[in-house]
Structure 1
Amino acid sequence: MDVRETTLQELLGGPKQYLVPLYQRPYAWQGRQRDRLWSDILELAETRRSNPGTTHFMGSLVLSTGAIVPTGMEFLVVDGQQRLTTLSILLCALRDYLRIHQKDQPMLAESIHEQYIADRFKPGDGRLKLLPTQADRDAFRAVVDGAVGADSTSGVGQAYSFFRRALELADDPEDPHDIERIREAVLGGLSFVSITARDEDNVYRIFESLNNTGLRLTQGDLVRNYLFMRLSSRGESVYSSWWLPMQQRLSTEDLELIFWLDAVADEPLLKQGDIYSYQQSRLAKMDDEQILAEIERFSRLSEQLAVIREPSLEPEPGLRKHLQRLAEWGSTTTVPLTLRLLARRAAGTSSADEVTGALAAIESYIVRRTLGGRPGQGLNRTILQACAVIDDGPVDQVLLDYFSTGRKYFATDAQIRESIRTQPFYLRGLRTQQKLILKWVQESLNPKEPVDVDKSTIEHILPQTLTPEWRTALERELGDDESVDEVHEQLVHQLGNLTLTGYNSELSNRSFESKQTDYLNSSYSALNRRVLEASSWGREQILERDEWFADRIIEQWSGPNERIEPDTPGRDWSLVHQAIMAIPAGRWSSYGDVAALIGTHPVPLGNHLSSVPVAGAHRVLQGGGTISPGFRWLDADDDRDPRVVLEEEGLLFAPNGVADEAARISTAGLAELIGLVAEGLEGTDTTDRTFLGQLSSANPPSIVHGVTALFDAWEDLGGSVEFGSNREISAFMTSPRRVGAEKSYWPFTVYPISGNVEVVFQYLRDRPPFDEVELREAFRARLNAVEGVSLPASRIDKRPSFPIEVFREPAAREQIVDALQWFIDQLPGEASAQESAA
């Protein structure tokens, strides 16, 4: 047995090939795993700028030596094939990105291909550094060879498309070395423990041992233990005076979180799993008196965190209002900075008025940035780094100046007006945050009409689906060379066309006069006043209401310091690039659909695409579904017929050259593809991205990790996770579908906000063999053996629940996975091939 630490560069370099055995399940990573990996890689690349030796541990690879052939050594991948496959796909995406964007240095791309992807001197599949299981080989070969269908709808194709878009977004035009840092981080910074053995049985015993972990102390436990170890005999009195009140004041999660919030203000890249090592290193330099002072400081910080969690505890009205709004906004990123500000107020180094002004500056910045349509990337770091500047003067002025300098996208009044007039507000950001902006505008005009966001939905006045009546109304306003569909796409998602209602599904696409009647009886009179005064509803009225909204927003949320010259970049085309690259093979979108995504028009978009290389640009057609007569490949030597290319990808054309309308992706569909709307479009299917957004906003990182780890284990058993469509997005853990089984089964439903895991005995009682109460009792007993789970016998025909916190502990997760395996073993029918592989 050979056990050693290694890197991807070392693993894939040289004459080696990694074979995924045919009994392994196909490639199965989904969005949440790819997002997590990419986030880790970006953090690693950034950290390695100042600490080049930093690595990120990717876990173990369990390998078995295969044949020694003339062309090198073969290894069977027993555990780790999902990670190895994903990283190989990422290398292909990186190679292709470099081929397009760094043509002056072709060896950068080719060195990745020939050293880590494929050996051009070997024939057939023997050239591939990684050979996936048979089900994935066609898709993987297409990615390796850059062939038609590389960005297919298969799991491999989706991963490739994701990384191509991610690289586009990560490439800062002003930083010539950022992609190179990512390449170095992937190849040299991701570390593995490689466990290789010749005896395959031994390999599986190692694999089982690695996946059996015991109950571990939390990071908060470790910090507490260290602090009181240092205090020795004085520990008891300090515990009673300072620690116990803090422990009673905060939840277990917040008690751990406070050590991270304190640290991340100084170390923005610090992960929650590194709390103890960071705090221990800092505390080790202190004497006993300083340790005592630290415990007192942590206890006082806990008082401020309690106020952040429950703003009603704050006596100052102005301060309380901004704390409440930041809490409603739901961004955990603002908490470290808010904690520092409240601590300054408590210590007397900043006045209540200054802190109120500072919180108002934070609120204005995030609201204006959202309305300005800027991408969320970089926002977290900008706010965390603000912690380092608040000691430089009056905190309200210091923060306003800080947000106003550099490229932080603090939208000016003119930019707010332009964005509201042109940007599709409904297709940007979290749906709850969109509703909050509408709510706060309403309440600023009429505080006596409070808005219940939970019971409200966003209503399109001009409907998303045009009826003949609405289409006729728009036709009256058309200019030369305009179509109803193009104008509708430009207007429908603008802020001026949106309002709040409690009965969205009832209004739908009814006539304007019918909607006015309902708005008249609505509790949102201030928000709807201009709608009620209008005799009709079209472009003129929407643009006028855009201006009305701009006035209210500029008045309510102050802009940047006008004395500071902002660093104003040109038009941001990154969203367009992402959207085009996300169009899968066999689908198309129009210039108008894509242009509406950033509030521009088809002509400037066409001009941009004629000069900038964007993968998939040939899938953007004219509004009628025809190829633009002016379309040219950027490579002057490329003489392919674009229609032939599109047909090879699976897109159907009518004899008159019009693409299949059913394969068209609208602006809203593009926004969904690239995750622009984080809570899903109302009226469409909801994705796991929505669930994870709610899970992350309502729970500490340790629980988020626990839930995602359980989902991963469930998928390893052959199951899947499906998602509901209510306001709180539930996750259904659906069992593998057995051959010959007539019904579907799911043991759990997970609720991310309320924090409950529902055991659905009520549904199981109608599904053999769980219609036998003895079998449900056996399942209940297995679950009740897990610490923190207590399902009463009286609820054996109901839907009892246990807290989501149970998933946080590895030992508890292991017991639950065992119970789920037992559950699957009871299912009727024959196991499918996928389940058998799992």
Structure 2
Amino acid sequence: MKIESQDKRIDELLKGNIFLIPRFQREYSWEPDHVAAFWSDLIENMTEAYFIGAMVVYKVERSTLAVVDGQQRLTTITILLCAIREAFKDLDRPELAEGLQAYIEQKDRENKTVYVLKTESSFPFLQEEILKSDPAEVPFEVGREEEAIQRAFDIFKNNISEKVSEYLDNKEQSADDNKKDAIGWLSILRDTVFDLNLILVTLDTEDDAYLIFETLNTRGKDLALADLLRNHFAKLIRSASEVDQVKEKWSRVQDTIKSSPIQLDPDTFIVHSWQSRYDFVTKAKTFQKVKDRVNKKNAKSHLDRFVSDSEQWRSIFDTEYLWSKSEREAARSLKALRTFKVVQPSPGILSLVRAYRDKTIKYRTLRNALSNIEKFHFSFNAITSSRSSGGISGMYSSFGRQIFQCNDSGEAARVIADLVSKLQEREVLSSEFDVGFEQVIYTNRHSSQKTLVQYILRKVAIFESQPFIGETDDLTIEHLVPQSSYKSDEDHLIVGQLGNLMLVDQKTNELLSTNEFKEKKVILESRGYKLPELFDGVDELSEEIIRSNTQRIAELSREKIWKV
């Protein structure tokens, strides 16, 4: 491997070179905080030499260099130069704007305009809207990357405009002198950018670039696992036409996950997908496992699996995605697991959902399996907050791999039955469950468990055949003994217990208002609601009765409703 290293200033770098952003590079993704930090560093070091690190490239053509490392910085610097160009134009100095533009675009041998940055992912937005000095002429679409580029451009323009305005608004000298000062500051800013120093590392071949790319980004650099995988697939699957299938398919994976209304992490998806099929590995070791297994012969099939898995994985967390009305019970179990903040079952659930979508198992099998997983984690996580040493995560990964290898519903049924047996073996103690159940509360002062309380009350009400009036999603939590009856924080731990709570429809809630229990009891019964037998003949709920009702619901929950 031949590696050349040179010290370069930005103006030397941009003159005479075209920089290609290769297919394995990630999109421009600097957030406003990154752009603001870069701006601050630049302003603090104005007129001084400032080192911005290394940039790694490989030769494509005579004057074209493909960027391996340094794309984000190079793009940001170019965007800043474009913002300075616009400021020169606003100050009626077109010759300075044109002089700067000579570093942003060049003329080729046929006298055609060629921009210094040659990108595919943000084309033609970056070229038409940012790099071009004249108004845009070619229509373009705006996606996530284009929005990030526009944000950076706007931040730079606004920062420059604020500083220029300070000079132009100076009341102590003439407008001409103010303008000269503004142009002078802007010229210093331009020269500071041009004088930024870096080390340019040049490689001979694209294969060397892939290797350096991985090496640079597995030594503590913040490149995501998803980017490393995209690079690996791009290395193995070379484009045979104008359509870059790696880029298109990996973009589908990223878009599927990132477009979810629930914040999801592509790297976590990759780990869960891999665990559900091959190995129980940590995030840190996943890429090496992929490299060991995925080669030129099987890369396309693996890539296709990641594409299909991304949709199924998203549906585990985003229960409005892909699930039909006829599948609502499965979706509710998944939503419950999200309420419990449980992710351990995800590799196993991914395999279950995949098997269902592939028609290896029927919906009833999927629904029952998810229901048992939901019941277990309700007790294990939501109520008792039990901790696993890692055995449960390994169990679900093993389960996922076994389901993945099943050829028919019979095999899958046996694997699922084995999982249920293992969940039953891990059942929490009744005493631990009851103690945890009493600590699930909801009041205005203690509202963090509201979603869990709604979930529990809904399940209990359905089990007890409460005649809901209105849709279940419209029901509100009613305190039978009003919260206003208790003043201290300790009292709220009683009034907020599940034994003092029930779900009611909106109209009933309005009728109940802040009445005492005696009046509420009459209203509830007149509206068709059923009250526990231990409330018979009771006009006032004491702390003892509330605790007794909480214990009754706890016993019903662990022995009936959430029994695996």
Structure 1 length normalisation: TM-score?
0.32
Structure 2 length normalisation: TM-score?
0.45
